[in-house]
Amino acid sequence: MHRAYHPTPQPHKRRIRWLAVLPWLAAVYLVTGLYTVGPNERAVVRRCGKPLAQLRMPGLHFGFPYGIDRVTRLKVFERKRVAVGMSLAERSLGRAAEPQQAERLTGDHNLIRVSAIIQYRIADAKAYLFHVADVPALVSDVASSTLTSAVTSMNVDDVLTVERLAIQDEVKRATQAALEGYRAGVEITSVSLEDVAPPEEVAQAFRDVTAAREDSQRLINEAQGYANRLSPQARGEAQRTRLEAEAYRDQAIKRAQGDAESFAKMAAQLSDNRPLTVKRLILETMEKVLPRLKKIVLDDRAGGAVDLGLIEAEQ
């Protein structure tokens, strides 16, 4: 029985094969340095562990191959969110926040349930990557602290009613200032208070107070509206009365001036012809008085006592 003979490849032939494959392997390795950056992305390149000074903008780039360059892409225009006093999963499911997470103490020593949504974006890609290990957790913790500080400086009624916008602005400002101190590389874009309410144990009492305040404000608005309607009417009446008084004053002055002129003329006539002037005055006076008197005319046949009804009989 004869065995088949297989010749063993010579070492120099194996080296030739490796030399033939080596350019292809090198080409594949160099291709690993080719990468793209998306339209809404910026890329940070670490070369031998050290970040390069310039960020890579959107487009096709070629750097050193794998092991030398490490590329990290960041969506710098994406709005990221964290929740304070609740979780985003609870919010998406419509669940209420846990009391121990959301309850805070106001300036007048009342407990109130406050939760918020913080939105932020990457402002400094390098700081975002290398200065803070867990940016979302840091943003949430800082925002929770500033929210507690803002609520603590106010009364419970103000927090529930008129100071919500002021709280949002203060939390945004203070959180941004703290994150800049940590060099977190993020910018707070908005703060939204999601749940501002008293604890369930006293919720009804707070609702009664709110309803009473709303009724009071409604009555004040109605009174103000009535005053606004009445003021123009009162001003019009005052203007009309003033104009009438001025007209009466002018008429009285003219009448007095006319009477004075008439009296002066009469005095001049009296000095010239006294008997005739006196007779004329008597006739003018009778002309004014007689038409207002009751006159009775008797003919010659009326004789004796005539009861004209001028004197009432004694009872």
Give 170-188 pLDDT, tens digit per residue: 999 999 999 999 999 999 9
Residue 270's pLDDT is 66
| Residue 314, pLDDT above cutoff 60 | no
CA–chain centroid gap for 139, Å, is 26
pTM > 0.75: yes or no: no
Average pLDDT over residues 46-58: 80
| Amino acid occupying residue 250 | D
> Coil, strand or helix: which one is 10?
coil
pLDDT of residue 100: 63
With residue 121 as reference, give the H or E element that holds it: strand 111-122
- pLDDT for res 226: 86
| pLDDT, mean over the chain | 79
pLDDT for 146 equals 94
Residue 313 pLDDT exceeds 60: no
Q: Is the pLDDT of residue 22 over 60?
A: yes
Which has the closest alpha carbon to 140: 150, 148, 151? 148
Portion of the chain with pLDDT greater than 70, in percent = 77
Q: What is the mean pLDDT of residues 267-285?
A: 75
Structure tokens at 311: 């004197």
Length of the chain measured in residues: 315
Query: Which distant-in-sequence residues (6+ apart) come within 8 Å of 183 by Cβ?
Result: 124, 127, 131, 132
